[in-house]
Amino acid sequence: MDAATRDQLVANYLAGTALLKKAVQGMTDEQLKARPVAGKMSTLEVVCHLVDFEPVYVERMKRAITMEKPTILGADGTPSPPSSTTTTAMRTKR
């Protein structure tokens, strides 16, 4: 991966926090906790999930940026199957 591509991917990642804040800005507690689709997470639950998994995402990005053939780890620390969407997407970005 060339430096310009890497820098753009990192900038896009860093911009994500502001985009998320903007998306939920002004929502009431009721709206944040609502589940408009039965059995699916609320906006608040999705945001909490993103925060909880941030360390996993960061580790995956570090590996994708710094390794020629990165092993993408699952949330439990075990390697993801080679055919997983995450692994394929990360390798495609390289």
pTM for the predicted model, two decimal places = 0.68
Q: What's the count of helices (H) and strands (E) in the chain, helices before strands?
A: 4, 0
Q: Which residues on neighbouring strands pair with residue 79, listed in sequence order?
A: 73
34-38, 60-64, 74-78, 90-94: which range is least confident on average? 90-94
The pLDDT assigned to 82 comes to 56
> 25-66 pLDDT, tens per residue?
999 999 999 999 999 999 999 999 999 988 888 888 888 888
> 15-30 pLDDT, tens per residue?
998 999 999 999 999 9
Phi and psi, residue 42, nearest 5°:
-80, 170
The pLDDT assigned to 18 comes to 92
Residues in CB range of 27: below 8 A, 6 or more apart: 43
Question: Counting Cβ atoms within 10 Å, is residue 11 exposed (0-12), middle (13-18) or buried (19+)?
Answer: exposed
